A and B are shown apart, each in its own frame.
Chain A
């Protein structure tokens, strides 16, 4: 009896605190353990929100910084990160309430003034120091006072401390006043450019050196960054919120070619191969057991060829349609090892507004020849196809298309453009005689505005609208949808779909694929959830990972 009571007491003594804690909603976390090692083919361009514009830098940045909001684990919905928020009914005023107890990894408390400082810093015309303005600084151009603060790309006017529409009425409240409703405003606050920085640290090191000593309030902190060699993150000792860091040390080695990453993965010396190239993917296909480590899903990413509609021959709709019918996209999928699906419309499958009922072009070379004859090219014509070899498979796909178009009488001359970053300016330059050019576009955020306005509206000719397509009906629908607030999402979706139908009918593009992004992860890295390693929007979420051998 006493023994049983004693046993009961023992069980109660050990189980009760945990049960009570769980009941209170506070799970006592286990101490962080293990090491997570990832090698990369090139170094990180930056850790500073001002210079940020690439996916690789976002990986450590999301671990060491907080944003006001972020994306949920299971999808593309926006959830609080450093703050909760309310929106005024007219969609013009966003009020954020910071969580309690936010602290930077150096112990400094995070205040609303720090948030205001961070957004103003990235929006300034001279934010990037010797390199001018921040690449993503204009994301915040709908905040009242932006134009005055941006000052045409120069330093802000003397005496001005920030955008007039961005205020901190007290230490835990941030208020944004917008010029017009913007349904994707929260998405823009989830970009790395809006990460919350510690003004004291930024001012101490200056804009070029700050990134070597980057400090944020996220679950991890930057332990050190030896540029071109190694970056190490460790848990932020001042992070006392749910879901703290669970890994004791995160190691990033750089300048490791994919072939070596593959060997190191097989030896168990790296824990993840991030977005391997096609060659590594093929090697993994042939390695027993390695396909079990594959995590993949389609993200909001499209691959297509833009047709220059401003001049012959592609100013003729029938010619554009003919090229679309002459290409066998399903066959071309083999050239990317099946890591994708055929693209049917500008919006990708996970985007609101995507219409599953729209089918891709069917492969019909006979119809293509007929359309060419009707357009006045019964014997075909000669054209150039521009592409970039920054992704090696693009050359294979382009050569494949060259062969397919030859079968309907179109002679294609392939032109390799050296580099992808200059691509948009090269192909969008009106003095440039390009006719058909490869384009790939990865979302900034999961909103149709990011695709339909940025890539197809008449206002972006000369920058992102490579096809130089300008349809007034399309422009009107898209711009109207852009200006509606998030509360009218259904109406926005309807307008975007109407616009999309116009685009499909006018065929300024040759849509190709929705690529599938993939990574290989060792089985001892948990959780085994594809959204942690290949999230639809975010980078691999180190915050959620833990190691268990």
Chain B
């Protein structure tokens, strides 16, 4: 078991290192003159040279990467070229914001997706089932950007029920709804199909034969067993959300990791791009590592070699 954990952890480290190296090469390789970018178009050549020296831009890129790694290990991810503040603090401020949006988004997906899936499975073949499945297909197909703007217009502006922009408790409702409507369909369809599977199993027939109420059969036996692949899907979903929802955050003005990434890419701010990609990669890798360990603990048969 320990062997397994150590091996997984080491590979995790390798994965993060690779992401780090590739992102660094891309982010610092693309802008032809990072010093000029920072110093701005009005700076003299002497100023640009001074900036270049301070950022070690005269060194070959592999040496700069090593310097950067050294700083990373000590918690220093460098400074944003545009916003004049430490990259680490920008990320630290953005993480709780994105995390709260992620939680609300998943909650919205579940609140919409689960009832839809259960009802559709229970009423399989009926007009209601068809309507719900078509509806969820429409939901998946909607671009989040478009839906977000629509929600802002209707519920923020015309009805005034929610704030149009900004990060607050009320301000998370519309973005969560935008993600929820577009993402609920995955859960609805998954739950419907797994429920239909389970409903055909022997133990369900046994429960019916025992004379249990329909409702009890549904909830105690069918849904609980159908939820297992469901939870796996949630894990994947959360893992994907950990890097922030770029489009949603931009449309609604939520200052999370997605907005940070969008701005950094638009500004070609290499330190923020590298820092944030490294953070996201680390988070995903750590989550997967933890999940793998939990699986191994739950089922000792599991130990991928």
Contact = CB atoms under 8 A, between A and B. Distances in A.
B155 to A, nearest CB: 12
Instruction: Identify the interface centre among A128, A141, A260, A264: most chain B CB within 10 Å of its CB.
Output: A260
B6 interface: no
B178 to A, nearest CB: 14
B84 A48 contact: yes
A390 B165 CA distance: 23
A229 B255 contact: yes
A135 B38 contact: yes
B16 to A, nearest CB: 24
A426 interface: yes
Nearest to A125: B50
Instruction: Identify the interface centre among A227, A255, A423: most chain B CB within 10 Å of its CB.
Output: A255
Interface stretch (B185-193, B224-232, B260-268): B260-268
B36 A422 contact: yes
B165 A53 contact: no
A131 B51 contact: yes
Contact of A429 (B33, B48, B93): B33
Given A45-B84, A418-B30, A132 B253 contact: no
A419 B267 contact: yes
Contact of B166 (A253, A422, A423, A462): A253
B283 interface: no
Given A133-B50, A229-B255, A263-B164, A422 B32 contact: yes
Contact of A464 (B41, B164, B268): B41
Interface string A99-139: 00000000000000000000000000110101111111110
Interface of A (DSSP majority class): loop
Contacts, number: 169
Given A42-B263, A263-B153, A419 B32 contact: no
Contacts of A254: 255
B54 A257 contact: no
Contacts of A253: 165-166
A423 B50 contact: no
Interface residues of B, number: 57
A259 interface: yes
A260 B48 contact: no
B40 interface: yes
A128 B52 CA distance: 12
Contacts of B93: 227-228
B79 A263 contact: no
Nearest to A441: B41
A255 to B, nearest CB: 5
Contacts of A454: 42
B49 interface: yes
A425 B51 contact: no
A518 interface: no
A423 B45 CA distance: 15
A134 B47 contact: yes
Interface string A46-58: 1010010110000
B287 to A, nearest CB: 25
A493 interface: no
B268 A255 contact: no
Interface residues of A, number: 60
Nearest to A389: B266
B250 interface: yes
B269 to A, nearest CB: 9
Nearest to A419: B268
A425 B149 contact: no
A43 B94 CA distance: 13
A424 B41 contact: yes
Contact of B79 (A136, A208, A464): A208
Instruction: Identify the interface centre among A51, A126, A153: most chain B CB within 10 Å of its CB.
Output: A153
Contacts of B33: 422, 425-426, 429
Interface in B100-120: none
B93 to A, nearest CB: 6
A158 to B, nearest CB: 18
A132 B55 contact: yes
B50 A421 contact: no
Contacts of A132: 35, 38-39, 47, 50-55
A271 to B, nearest CB: 15
B135 to A, nearest CB: 27
A45 B90 CA distance: 12
A457 interface: no
A137 B32 contact: no
Instruction: Identify the interface centre among A54, A138, A253: most chain B CB within 10 Å of its CB.
Output: A138
B37 A150 contact: no
A57 to B, nearest CB: 9
B46 A153 contact: yes
Interface string B221-255: 00000000000000000000000000000110111
A446 B26 CA distance: 39
B268 A133 contact: no
B130 interface: no
Interface string A424-461: 11100100100000000100100000000010000000
Given A131-B54, A131-B84, A255 B255 contact: yes
B31 A422 contact: yes
A127 B47 CA distance: 10
A256 interface: yes
B47 to A, nearest CB: 5
A423 B41 contact: yes
A303 to B, nearest CB: 14
Contacts of B268: 418-419, 421-422
A54 B267 CA distance: 13
Contacts of B166: 253, 256
Interface of B: 30-55, 78-79, 81-86, 90, 93-94, 149, 152-153, 156-157, 160, 164-167, 250-251, 253-255, 259, 263, 266-268
Given A45-B82, A267-B160, 10 more contacts: A53-B39, A128-B51, A131-B55, A133-B39, A135-B39, A135-B47, A137-B47, A227-B85, A263-B156, A464-B41
